Amino acid sequence: MYDLLIKGGELIDPAQGIHEKRDIAISKGKIAALEGEIASSQAKKTIEAKGKIVTPGLIDLHVHCSPIITKLGVPPDEIGVSTGVSTIVDCGSTGYANFEGFKKFIIPQAKTDIFALLHVVPTGHAVQPENWGWYEANPEATLQTVEENRGLIKGIKMRAIGSVIEQQGVKAIKLAKKIANEAKLPLMVHFGIWIDEKTPQSQVDPFMRELLSTMDKGDIITHIYTSNLGGLIKPDGTVYPELWDAIKRGVVLDVANAIFNFSFDIARKGLEKGILPTTLSTDFANVNLNSPVVLSLVVTMSKFLALGLSLDQVIEMTTINPALTLGEEERRGSLKIGMPADISIFELAAGDFTFYDRREKTNILKGKYQLVPKLTIKSGIEIEAAPRYRD
Ligand SMILES: [Zn+2]
């Protein structure tokens, strides 16, 4: 007798190449069976999923979920399990000096699984921008924090913002890369100058080109479609030449929607050139709450449907691709038998939807579909969705 049965849904699991009607049985919090038809009599409880889309629990590779510890953080479950997302990654909100608080007071209380990328500067970008912290960077203390938290810390984070370029220059790149190499973890870099900084282009371009040359397979570029100075794709559609080699090497391209680091125009230009995202993510932080951008991973996925990607592609970019980026592909990002039963159930609502890329509402994107989360199952436990999206 199975504990739970999800019946009649359209299962999309790109990791297994499945896109068809399948019933899913769960026992002891794990996927127990995946078949065309499983009788309800074989399970203690059945969830009817006819007309719905069933996917592995989504993974948001870029959020800020360390409230109280940092000014930037949002309560994890508000952006996690209540929106169809079973795993989130806090990207550099904390560094070695405040990671312990995040680990002790926030991570264990959440139903959503949380990983972290540790910032190079001592307190991360808990306050913004984090310029001063670079003078206090301590590779030994950072590496010690990584060592003490293997399995929880999945990478190192830095932001290539104007103040870092002006005050630190390429030594910032070298320091961050050295820490990541010694930790044997990926480096995630925020591309794009902070909105109110006035760093000259002549200083930004050499820094970004050097940075791109330094990034290895598995390192992550975040905000790939920013229109800010220092972005990968320029408003005229040209790109830093080093980008192509970085893509060939296997550098991960992450979207990180946010409220001023994403542009539909730049995304269109990138997609036309074949610069596809590896991962879709939100960059959810409390400064982004209640903006017309409506941050939610399913909304970002819906934007990419409107930009021409397929449903299978956007699900791949929020399941197996981030799982691979985290080195977690054996535990999440798919619904293989024996894996933890992290599952998302959605409706693909049809209608006329309007999406915004930035807080300023400078660009509008019209879409015909919007993914609406209905139910998240985390390790076999049902959690009702409370979706954040515009009617
Ligand atoms: Zn961020």
pLDDT tens column, 198-232? 999 999 999 999 999 999 999 999 999 999 999 99
Homologous superfamily, domain 56-326: Metal-dependent hydrolases (3.20.20.140)
Note the pLDDT tens digit of each residue in 145-171.
999 999 999 999 999 999 999 999 999
CB 110 within 8 A of CB 80: yes
The DSSP-derived string for 230-273 is: T-SB-TTS-B-THHHHHHHHT-EEE---TTTS--HHHHHHHHHT
Domain ranges of the chain: 56-326
pLDDT at position 260 is: 87
Q: Which of 296, 293, 292, 268 is nearest to 282 (CA)?
A: 296
Report DSSP state, residue 14. G
Instruction: Supply 273's token pair.
Output: 């050139």
Residue 288 reports pLDDT greater than 80? no
Report DSSP state, residue 163. H
Ligand 1 center–CA 309 separation, angstroms: 24
Ligand 1 center–CA 67 separation, angstroms: 14
Instruction: For residues 73-85, give the mean pLDDT.
Output: 94
Tell me if residue 43 falls in helix, strand or coil: strand
Ligand 1 center–CA 167 separation, angstroms: 21
Distance CA 164, CA 170 (A): 9
Ligand 1 center–CA 134 separation, angstroms: 17
CB 237 within 8 A of CB 273: yes
Ligand 1 center–CA 171 separation, angstroms: 22
pLDDT at position 391 is: 38
Distance CA 91, CA 138 (A): 18
pLDDT at position 389 is: 57
Ligand 1 center–CA 158 separation, angstroms: 10
Ligand 1 center–CA 130 separation, angstroms: 12
Ligand 1 center–CA 9 separation, angstroms: 34
Ligand 1 center–CA 63 separation, angstroms: 6
Candidate from 11-20, 123-132, 172-181, 243-252 with smallest mean pLDDT = 123-132
Distance CA 60, CA 44 (A): 31
Per the DSSP assignment, residues forming a β-bridge with 188 are 157, 220
Residue 52 reports pLDDT greater than 70? yes
Per the DSSP assignment, residues forming a β-bridge with 153 are 116, 150
Instruction: For residues 110-134, give the mean pLDDT.
Output: 90
Ligand 1 center–CA 159 separation, angstroms: 9
Distance CA 16, CA 315 (A): 12
For helices 139-148 and 170-183, what crossing angle results, to 10°? 30
Ligand 1 center–CA 366 separation, angstroms: 26
CB 7 within 8 A of CB 30: no
Place of tokens 């050499």: 206
Ligand 1 center–CA 118 separation, angstroms: 12
Mean pLDDT of all residues in the chain? 95
**β-pairing verdict for 113-119 and 153-159:** parallel
Residue 388 reports pLDDT greater than 80? no
Residue 35 reports pLDDT greater than 50? yes
Ligand 1 center–CA 298 separation, angstroms: 18
Ligand 1 center–CA 275 separation, angstroms: 21
Residue 29 reports pLDDT greater than 90? yes
CB 296 within 8 A of CB 389: yes
How many Å is the Cα radius of gyration of the chain? 20
Q: Which of 11, 13, 84 is nearest to 320 (CA)?
A: 13
